[in-house]
């Protein structure tokens, strides 16, 4: 089933210099730095390097020529449609080096924060409408009780915060990834944004996966007419953090050598999902982490600070999913819990669902089921752990049995004694070690 969303409107390409809404000196300096660093000389190549349409690039080139920072080489390049070549003058090289000393940033021209805000609205996570079929398909590899989908669907469709809690090993992380997979549309991520003359890089190939069609079309100058090429068309981003998450990872990252900023994780996840896995395993207490999110979650805006101490607002448009093995009342006060819109308990499967999962996994991995072995598992083994079933156990036990069969050089099979050997690896006996 196709994604049920309002079509995301692409950011329009700037047609003139005035459309850029950037300081003129900043644009000129980024152009000079890019020519200096990338050694490009044709306007078409310069345009591609700074991710601007030809007409706008030509305007900046002409301005730099008037200021005697660029000069025509006087040669036409036959391979580039008889384009005129340009090179930096001595004054231009000097200006490029001075500009690099102030900020190492060059390449794609940044998008002003005010312009980026408008694009965030056009592609908001809150515009998403997810159907039951779509969510079921994305969770196809999981056996989930219908009432869980009843809760998950509206939660995801709202684009608001979700807290998933329950015992470990029951697929909270897998469900989070399934929610991510259900979002099949694309958004536009800027290479960088500009605020108060500072450049903040946003696009991150580790977080953002560029749409294939766009990659194939990289050499076409016509693509600038389709949308503003200062953006990269990507799948909705997903940022997954776990025990390593700390509060300073949610601040702007300043690179003192390059004198540029990198967007924090939540800004990179704009228009997508931010998953905080294993909440309660971080150095900071969960309450402190959630307190950091309270204003963004309630007001759809976040506050970041520059090195100078100046604070400014950025859009906060992210579906935040918290996942924890602790009971919410153990790690949050009621005020924090009130601010998380959806609390969903992810429990272990019933015996019936456990058997369904076990049979599915066994079939997928080519392990024949055996009634005597299953009865032994249910009647002899599970009572020793109070018949507490977890979603991870079928895969674990079946993988263990397969490994034993391969080691013993016997066909894949399920026997009570093999169940015993697999079970022994699932739990560590609580016994005293003599030193």
Greatest mean pLDDT range, 328-332, 340-344, 420-424:
420-424
Give CA separation, 77 vs 42, 45, 86, in Å: 8, 12, 11
The backbone torsions φ and ψ at residue 200, rounded to the nearest 5 degrees and listed phi first, read: -120, 115
Residues 124 and 316: their CA atoms lie apart, in Å, by 10
Average pLDDT over residues 188-216: 86
Specify the pLDDT at position 221: 45
Specify the pLDDT at position 4: 42
Specify the pLDDT at position 331: 86
Average pLDDT over residues 287-292: 86
Instruction: Single out the residue of 341, 11, 319 nearest to residue 183, CA to CA.
Output: 319
- Sorting pLDDT into bands at 50, 70 and 90, what band is 430? low
Write down the mean pLDDT value for the chain: 87
Residue 100 has pLDDT above 90, yes or no: yes
**Range 86-109 burial, b when 16+ CB lie within 10 A, else e:** bebbeebeebbeebbeebebbbbb
Residue 413 and residue 366 in contact, taking contact as beta carbons nearer than 8 Å? no
pLDDT tens digit sequence for 64-82? 999 999 999 876 665 556 6
Q: Is the pTM of this model over 0.95?
A: no
pLDDT tens digit sequence for 55-64? 999 999 999 9
Residues 299 and 420: their CA atoms lie apart, in Å, by 54
Greatest mean pLDDT range, 21-30, 161-170, 325-334, 422-431:
21-30
- Sorting pLDDT into bands at 50, 70 and 90, what band is 212? low
């Amino acid at each position: 089933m196709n994604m049920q969303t309002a079509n995301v409107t692409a950011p329009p390409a700037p047609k003139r210099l005035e459309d850029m809404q950037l300081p003129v000196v900043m644009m000129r300096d980024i152009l000079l730095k890019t020519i200096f660093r990338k050694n490009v000389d044709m306007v078409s190549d310069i345009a591609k390097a700074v991710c601007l349409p030809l007409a706008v690039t030509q305007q900046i080139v002409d301005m730099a020529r008037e200021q005697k920072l660029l000069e025509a080489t006087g040669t036409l390049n036959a391979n580039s449609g008889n384009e005129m070549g340009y090179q930096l003058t001595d004054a231009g090289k000097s200006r490029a080096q001075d500009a690099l000393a102030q900020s190492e940033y060059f390449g794609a021209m940044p998008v002003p924060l005010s312009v980026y805000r408008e694009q965030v609205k056009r592609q908001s996570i809150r515009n998403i409408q997810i159907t039951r079929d779509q969510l079921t398909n994305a969770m196809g590899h999981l056996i989930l009780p219908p009432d869980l989908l009843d809760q998950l669907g509206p939660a995801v469709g709202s684009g608001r915060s979700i807290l998933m809690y329950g015992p470990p090993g029951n697929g909270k992380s897998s469900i989070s990834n399934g929610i991510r997979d259900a979002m099949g549309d694309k958004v536009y991520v800027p290479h960088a944004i500009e605020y108060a003359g500072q450049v903040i890089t946003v696009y991150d190939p580790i977080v953002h996966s560029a749409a294939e069609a766009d990659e194939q079309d990289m050499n076409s100058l016509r693509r600038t007419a389709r949308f503003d090429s200062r953006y990269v068309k990507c799948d909705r981003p997903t940022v997954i953090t776990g025990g390593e998450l700390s509060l300073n990872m949610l601040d702007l990252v300043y690179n003192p050598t390059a004198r540029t900023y990198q967007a924090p994780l939540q800004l990179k996840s704009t228009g997508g999902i931010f998953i905080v896995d294993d909440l309660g395993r971080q150095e900071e207490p969960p309450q402190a982490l959630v307190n950091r999110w309270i204003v963004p979650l309630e007001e759809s805006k976040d506050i970041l600070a520059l090195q100078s101490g100046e604070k400014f607002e950025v859009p906060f448009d992210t579906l935040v999913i918290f996942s924890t093995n602790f009971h919410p009342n153990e790690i949050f006060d009621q005020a924090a819990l009130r601010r998380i819109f959806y609390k969903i308990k992810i429990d272990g499967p019933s015996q019936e669902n456990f058997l369904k999962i076990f049979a599915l996994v066994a079939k997928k991995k080519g392990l024949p089921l055996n009634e005597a072995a299953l009865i032994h598992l249910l009647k002899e083994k599970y009572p020793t752990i109070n018949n507490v079933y977890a979603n991870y156990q079928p895969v674990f036990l079946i993988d263990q049995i397969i490994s034993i069969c391969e080691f013993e050089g016997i066909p894949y099979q399920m026997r009570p004694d093999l169940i015993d050997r697999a079970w022994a690896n699932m739990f560590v006996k609580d016994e005293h070690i003599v030193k």
